[in-house]
Amino acid sequence: MTSRTSPLKAQVLKGLLALAHRMEEVDGLFGKVGRNVAGDGLGELTVAECHFLAALNTVAPANGATLARHLGMTRGGVSKMATRLQARKLVEPLRVEGDRKSVHYSLTESGRQAVHIHDALHGLAEDMLWERLRNRSDEDLEFLGRVLAEVAGMLAEVNREVQANASVLLARKQAPAGA
């Protein structure tokens, strides 16, 4: 690695980690603000639960397989999350006539309210961020958009590789030098 590459690597990775941290803070706003806006219960939702509700709002009524594909989750994960959200009266199961096995899910009125608040908070954060970016040149914004899309794709690839090979990668990382 050249002397130029090492500082650049550190700068880029530090920037990406800072960006990820800021995005987690944006997602965490629902828990902080949602409780004040929506009352007890809605502000206690996790980010994954908010995204589940938002997906269901888009594709409802939907069965577990459809939601699993849409969210990139397992069907078991969808089932567990749907059960938690049913207990909180945000999601309701629907049976399909003539199909005794399939369960479809739909939002309750409280679930729709949670999606509305979640979407409003994301919209507010996006508007405020755009307000800070909008004075950049079109070239800068196009470049930023392109780089962010490429980085998102790279992170998706890395996440799949790490997940598939976690034990091998950790063993290699922890092996003493020269072993």
């939601």: which residue's tokens? 67
The Cα 15–Cα 151 span in angstroms is: 12
Statement: residue 40 has pLDDT above 60: no
Closest CA to 23 of 161, 148, 166: 148
**Radius of gyration over every alpha carbon of the chain, rounded to an integer in angstroms:** 21
Weakest-pLDDT range from 35-44, 85-94, 99-108, 136-145: 35-44
Q: What is the pLDDT of residues 42-90, one digit of tens each?
A: 567 777 888 899 999 998 788 888 999 988 888 899 999 999 999 989 9
The Cα 147–Cα 142 span in angstroms is: 9
Task: Please state the rounded mean pLDDT for residues 17-38.
Answer: 67
**Strand arrangement of the beta sheet that strand 91-96 belongs to:** 62-63, 99-107, 91-96
What are the domain boundaries of the chain?
A: 18-135, 137-179
- Give yes or no for a contact between 117 and 34, defined as CB atoms under 8 angstroms apart: yes
The Cα 175–Cα 179 span in angstroms is: 7
Alpha-helix residue ranges (DSSP H) falling in the chain: 5-38, 47-59, 64-71, 75-87, 109-133, 138-174
Statement: residue 30 has pLDDT above 80: no
- Give yes or no for a contact between 30 and 118, defined as CB atoms under 8 angstroms apart: yes
- Give yes or no for a contact between 127 and 39, defined as CB atoms under 8 angstroms apart: no
Instruction: Show Cβ contacts of residue 62 under 8 Å, excluding neighbours closer than 6 positions.
Output: 55, 56, 70, 104, 105
Closest CA to 39 of 117, 123, 119: 117
Q: Which amino acid is at 170?
A: L
Report, at the CATH architecture level, how domain 18-135 is classified.
Orthogonal Bundle (1.10)
pLDDT of residue 101: 78
